[in-house]
Amino acid sequence: MSRLNFSDRRLCLIVVAGSANIDLVARVAHQLQPGETLLADDYAMHQGGKGGNQAVAAARLGAPVRFLGAVGNDAFGAQILADLQHEGIDTSAMVQFPGNSGLALITVDAAGENEIVVVPGAYGKLAGAVDESAFVDARVVLTQLEVPPVFVNAVLAAGRRNNAAEVILNAAPATSLKAFDMDAVDWLLVNTGEAALLAGGQESEDRQQVESQARDLGVRYAVNVIVTLGADGALWVDREGSSGHVPGHARDVVDTTGAGDTFAGAFACARAQGQAVDGAIRMAVSAASLAVGKAGARAGMPTRAELQAAVDG
């Protein structure tokens, strides 16, 4: 990968819209079985939410980011806002609702794999009206499915109306896409489990089968598709039928919680800078591989300098 260049900040503006919450993370020997009670080794509190995570991932790589979402008027809400602002993210378009902010309850096992229960709180109240001015000059718009569909569709439509170069939908957590305006989407980003669910097949570790599912989704929704493959990197299929695969990097895994969000934020950042698809996915795979090395969704998300050092090394 060539050295990263983020000098033109206006043209690189990314709007990320979605969830932001507090993560309560417990470390366990293995994941729970039905009816089982586990004693955790320890727990920690982190900032989280797929939207907030993806915004932070992009911001740490040097892109200017504006975040759209919601917090409650509780202590968690104040922490969420302060952390986003500390990362240099524009939170002026966020809204506040009476009541609780979002919360995620996460268990991480000895292999670094996680299970997550999400309580949406304030961002579950987001509706179909968005601040149109927040999308002015946005080169890339990125959103996910932890927020209500009516809000997702408002974001997709605003991105298209304001001539964003690319609109990215990270279809996570996986659900039917019938409720969403897929005509406004350029890139559909999913992992292997989400790809299988959306394509109506079985999750597979066979790359050819995963690519077949990606092609099916691309044709069905007339979008470009990226499927993240965990340690095997990522593959993509574009609207013209071209495809490719970027292999992963061997890393010691501590916590996979933020890897997918790091990939999404890094890909958005690279595309906002005008990188070609192959280079953008290479950057995203490299960033995600660094993210698994520390506990917590955001702790391992690299800065631009850290990512460049890893790439050069």
Q: Return the active site residues.
A: 261
The rounded distance, in Å, linking the Cα atoms of 129 and 169 is 18
Torsion angle defined by CA atoms of residues 62, 171, 50 and 313, in that order, rounded to the nearest 10 degrees: -40
Q: Write out the E strands in the chain.
A: 14-17, 21-27, 42-48, 65-68, 70-72, 95-97, 102-108, 114-119, 140-144, 166-170, 187-191, 224-228, 234-237, 243-246
Query: And the tokens for 266?
Result: 């890094």
**Chain length of the chain:** 313
DSSP β-bridge partners for residue 144: 170
Strand ranges (DSSP E) for 154-275?
166-170, 187-191, 224-228, 234-237, 243-246
